[in-house]
A and B are shown apart, each in its own frame.
Chain A
Amino acid sequence: MPKVTYIEHNGTAHQVEVPVGLSVMRGAVNNGVPGIDADCGGECACATCHVYVDPAWLERIGVPEPGSMEASMLSFAAAAEPNSRLSCQITMSEALAGLVVRMPEGQH
């Protein structure tokens, strides 16, 4: 099963197996990884599963379409960066084995 590394804002890393087809958000929540709140449960409606995608992975994962709901929600997240994504919108695949994401100071 592919693994994802989630790095908390304080630097604590969590390596977790995430089944193909599941979202990166769900991978964190199901395994009790702190720092991803996911208030809306994966509807792209709250921006509380905000992560920074490791630059090495950004090209494979891509950025949200301009004008999309994800881009819109991310624009209101605190401390959004060009590599920001909502982890509920990243679906796990074999190609993403080894993905590294970092969490912001707080979800908002």
Chain B
Amino acid sequence: MDTYVNDAARNEAYSLPLDKIDVSNPQLYYNDTWYPYFERLRREDPVHYTPDSPYGPYWAVTKYRDMVKVEVNHKVFSSSDDLGGIRIDDPPKGMERPSFIRMDPPEHDEQRLVVSPTVAPGNLAKMESMIRERTCHVLDGLPRGEEFNWVDRVSIELTSMMLSTLFDYPIEQRRALIRWSEIAICDINAPDAPVRSEEDRFAELVKFTEHMNELWEDRAKRPPTFDIISILAHSERMNRMPLRERMGILILFLVGGNDTTRNSMSGGVWGLSRYPEEYAKVRADRGLIPGLIPEIVRWQTPVIHMRRTATEDAEIGGRAIKKGDKVVIWYISGNRDEDAIAEPNRLIADRARPREHVAFGFGIHRCLGNRLAELQLRILWEEILNRDLKIEVQDKPVYAYSNFLRSIKFLPVRLAA
């Protein structure tokens, strides 16, 4: 087995009494020491009850097949903010920011159908040449022979440009969107958190929404286009949403549109540097790129968990779930489940059935932007290979203090001169 963690983490994961294992601790993701805890749960207690956590009691679903069953059963396992939403921590009272990811049918369906044309295949085909042009420009501007942060110079740079296109937002101000995205999604207890309380977060997000309202009103006066603001401004169902709902849908696109793909862009570089023999396979056969992309997304798993709430008594993997229980689906564990994925800790460039992973979720809440994410990643790797860039990773990545997004903050690299 590929060991990712020091013996101390492994010893602790296997010596704790089972009921003391709490995989919600953001430290596990900050230190990247989560592997043995989930490995033990998958083997010994795959649907695991943690009676006491900072977020209250919860069930941890750790096996791939159990996750699929929960995700397709949205009637029993609700995403609604009224019951607690989609994260292990409940939304702050009075400051909820609802959007369709935090709704059940029929409200979910109505909103999702309005916004999905933004990232539908027809619109993606129109974006491809623009994404390629930007990717070439960013790669060609990288320094040679000196260390730089791949996350900032490539991953954030490319995904912030994508965000400005999705919102049709002034591209020169794109880093403002990244800042608001960080504010929207950060753990307020993280050492580098840009906001320290839910009240401060909410105040910043009000500013963001009011700022975007100017664009919204402008789009309403113009003919409809495919950017998300225009689609919302021209939608009879969504154009007059109250502030917090407007905030909710904008934040969903803001975070979903950058912080996930960003981390796959960084994670792919880290992963292929750990498995140079896999990178050699892709260099020798470009035909492997279509399979490499979903494999990178699986290996990184940018979204660590999703949460549901049981609307009635139910059963998962033989365990009795009570109405009202909090059920947390740990994608990060499902994508390392040996019973679903062979040698799951390895990044394998020519893996059989690479598309079968749980990083995008399943069922009606499955990631809306998954094909846009894959398109950006495919172009990035095609252009890295076109240039035969020798990316030398200088040190292991620095991860965010978060149990929700597996975000890479820093990845020092050097390009051979």
Question: Which chain A residues have a beta carbon within 8 Å of chain B's beta carbons?
Answer: 37-41, 43-48, 69, 72-73, 75-76, 78-79, 104-108
Contacts and interface: CB of A to CB of B under 8 A. Distances in A.
Interface of B: 68, 71-72, 105, 109, 112-113, 116-117, 119-122, 124-125, 294, 353, 355-356, 360, 362-364, 366, 370-371
29 contacts: A39-B294, A39-B356, A39-B360, A40-B68, A40-B356, A41-B353, A43-B72, A45-B362, A46-B366, A47-B366, A48-B355, A72-B364, A73-B364, A75-B109, A75-B113, A76-B109, A76-B113, A76-B364, A76-B366, A78-B116, A78-B117, A78-B122, A104-B121, A105-B122, A105-B125, A106-B120, A107-B121, A107-B371, A108-B119
Contact of B68 (A43, A72, A76): A43
A45 B68 contact: yes
Contact of B121 (A43, A76, A105): A105
A76 B360 contact: no
B362 A38 contact: no
A79 B355 CA distance: 22
B121 A41 contact: no
Contacts, number: 67
Contacts of B105: 72
Say what secondary structure dominates the interface of chain A.
loop
Contacts of B121: 78-79, 104-108
Nearest to B117: A78
Contacts of B120: 78-79, 106, 108
A72 B366 CA distance: 12
Nearest to A48: B355
Contacts of B353: 41
B329 to A, nearest CB: 13
Given A45-B363, A72-B105, A76-B366, 16 more contacts: A39-B294, A39-B355, A41-B356, A43-B68, A45-B71, A46-B366, A72-B109, A72-B364, A73-B363, A75-B113, A78-B117, A78-B122, A79-B121, A79-B122, A106-B124, A107-B371
B366 A37 contact: no
A48 B367 CA distance: 12
A8 to B, nearest CB: 13
A76 B109 CA distance: 8
Nearest to B358: A40
A108 to B, nearest CB: 5
The 3 residue pairs across chains A and B that have the minimum distance between CB atoms: A106-B121, A45-B362, A78-B120
B112 A76 contact: yes
Contacts of A43: 68, 72, 362
A50 B122 CA distance: 15
Contacts of A79: 120-122
Nearest to A44: B72
Contact of A106 (B109, B117, B371): B371
Contacts of B124: 106
B116 A69 contact: no
Given A76-B364, A79-B120, A108-B371, A69 B356 contact: no
A93 B125 CA distance: 36
Contact of B355 (A37, A69, A76, A78): A37
A52 B355 CA distance: 22
Contacts of B113: 75-76
Contacts of B122: 78-79, 105-106
A82 B369 CA distance: 24
B314 to A, nearest CB: 16
Contacts of A44: 72
A75 B105 CA distance: 12
A38 B294 CA distance: 12
Contacts of A75: 109, 113
